[in-house]
Amino acid sequence: MSNASTRSAGMPQTVEDRSLTQGLVGLIRGKSVAASDLDAAALFTLDAVANILAGRNSVPGRILLAWSQEKTRANTEPDPAHLAFLMGGLCHILETDDLHRESVVHPGCVVVPAAWALARHRRAGGRALLEAVLQGFEATTRVGMAVGPAHYRIWHNTATCGPYGSAMAASALIGLSDAQTVDALGNAGSQSAGLWQFLETGAMTKHLHAGHAAEAGLKAAELAAFGFTGPPRILEGEKGFFRAACPDADPEAVLRAPDAPWQLVRTSIKPWPSCRHTHPAIDAAEELRSRIAGREIVGVEVDTYQAALDVCDRPVVTTDYEAKFSLQHAVAAALTRFPVDFEAFGPAARSACAALALKVSIAAREPYLSAYPTAWGAEVRVRLADGTTLKVARRNAKGDPEAPLSSDEMIAKAHMLLAHGGVADAGRIVDGILGLATGGALPDLTVV
């Protein structure tokens, strides 16, 4: 153990003396784990793994696989950091991975790849993996809840807050002391990065964000085991994360409500393969579709919150990826076709929905404006040629904790994703991951 870590471990500290990172490690490791928490962690792990395997069936996925195959020698086990990067990138491609609303972080695409890669390498058991996943979700979302809304306008929270989660999960699996874990989180946080500029051209950068966040935290934890020190005040320090990138940070949010349920159970699951900001409007538009009954639509209005406009105001789309980040296209698709699946964002659907998408106007209005990020809602109003106006509102989208998917729906989603990824033995993977909660071993996965 390093001298710095030894000093940290040996010196009693008051609550006031502790850094936020020290407090976060103590808070997380003091939480109890119930059987229901393990069951939930298994379902979220299943969702992430299914997204990873499905993500291979995509243009960026095939690029990542080709890169990995070139970097990895035949018949050798991939290095855990390399595998975490690959799995993280694949997990985030199809826009069907989980999302924690209050932090605007996708925890699964960062935490599960790091935890899975390390657990596989260390031959860890199922419970150890799931407890690491719980801890990783907790770290990344608690940091995410503290960064403030202004951070998200430029920075991608999954990329910047993700390394804290992967480092926390990896620290649990390696068995780091509290002091070593603070070192790991400090060095993970110093690697925080990820900008929204890719949206301008629809570049593949977002997948790199998830892969890097998974890899960065894992490496930081591995180095901490060798005594590699990190800054304990990486969050609140004068040259730390909040000062550098979070103009309206809320540092107290990191340690707020320590006795709350695990943040994993406060995380939403996506039913549709598009940006989560489009989902409340898709949910409302799907209900309206059956009421329109083929009548001509002359106009559509969508009320929602500002972040949805910042990321998804895109009336004209030319690629699948742009369509997934377009409220206009998503609403047009939900009003005219079922289901809103992968094909709903493809070339044929984009062509069919283009005229209606131009009739969709979007605005940030109350009550959704001030309810965000606690609630992600929208109202959709459709004006018909016969003079009728129909409207449906959603305070929360399907898949949120207030409107959760059932276990059966999550398993069905996993099977859909695994089929998309060409997985022949989906049942073995589903049963194996769900069995982790009762002590089962990690099922073998062929990612590359």
Are residues 203 and 310 both part of a single domain?
A: no
Is 400 within a domain? Answer: no
Are residues 58 and 145 both part of a single domain?
A: yes
Q: What are phi and psi of 363, to 5 degrees?
A: -150, 150
Are residues 256 and 195 both part of a single domain?
A: yes
Are residues 118 and 249 both part of a single domain?
A: yes
Is 446 within a domain? Answer: no
Residue-wise DSSP of 137-160:
HHHHHHHHHHS-HHHHHHB-HHHH
Per-residue pLDDT of the chain (448 residues; tens, 9 = 90+): 334 433 344 444 555 689 999 999 999 999 999 999 999 999 999 999 999 999 999 999 999 999 999 888 766 778 999 999 999 999 999 989 999 989 999 999 999 999 999 999 999 999 999 999 999 999 999 999 999 999 999 999 999 999 999 999 999 999 999 999 999 999 999 999 999 999 889 899 999 999 999 999 999 999 999 999 999 999 999 999 999 999 999 999 999 999 999 999 999 999 999 999 999 999 999 999 999 988 999 999 999 999 999 999 999 999 998 999 999 999 999 999 998 988 999 999 999 999 999 999 999 999 999 999 889 999 999 999 999 999 999 999 889 999 899 999 999 999 989 999 999 999 999 999 999 999 899 999 988 7
Are residues 74 and 105 both part of a single domain?
A: yes
Are residues 262 and 289 both part of a single domain?
A: no
Give the per-residue pLDDT at 277. Answer: 93
The CATH number that applies at residue 259 is: 1.10.4100.10
Give the per-residue pLDDT at 17. Answer: 84
Is 444 within a domain? Answer: no
Tokens 């593949």 — which residue?
204
CA atoms of 155 and 246, how far apart (whole Å): 9
Give the per-residue pLDDT at 75. Answer: 63
Cβ neighbour number for residue 398 with a 10 Å cutoff: 20
Is 445 within a domain? Answer: no
Contact 41, 437 (CB under 8 A): yes
Is 210 within a domain? Answer: yes
Are residues 47 and 147 both part of a single domain?
A: yes
Residue partners of 293: CB distance under 8 A and separation at least 6:
none
Question: Residue 318: which domain range?
Answer: 276-394
Are residues 294 and 202 both part of a single domain?
A: no
Give the per-residue pLDDT at 3. Answer: 40
Are residues 32 and 102 both part of a single domain?
A: yes
Looking at the DSSP assignment, which residues form a beta bridge with residue 378? 394
Is 443 within a domain? Answer: no
The CATH number that applies at residue 325 is: 3.30.1330.120
Are residues 34 and 151 both part of a single domain?
A: yes
CA atoms of 433 and 418, how far apart (whole Å): 13
Give the per-residue pLDDT at 15. Answer: 58
Is 126 within a domain? Answer: yes
Q: Is pTM, for the whole model, over 0.95?
A: no
Are residues 284 and 154 both part of a single domain?
A: no
Strands (E), 312-370: 360-364
Is 401 within a domain? Answer: no
- In Å, how far are 4, 248, 431 from 209, measured between CA atoms? 31, 23, 30
Give the per-residue pLDDT at 2. Answer: 39
Our count of domains for the chain comes to 2
Are residues 99 and 138 both part of a single domain?
A: yes
Residue partners of 109: CB distance under 8 A and separation at least 6:
48, 51, 88, 91, 92, 97, 98, 158, 162, 210, 214
CA atoms of 238 and 243, how far apart (whole Å): 6
CA atoms of 329 and 335, how far apart (whole Å): 10
CA atoms of 405 and 279, how far apart (whole Å): 14
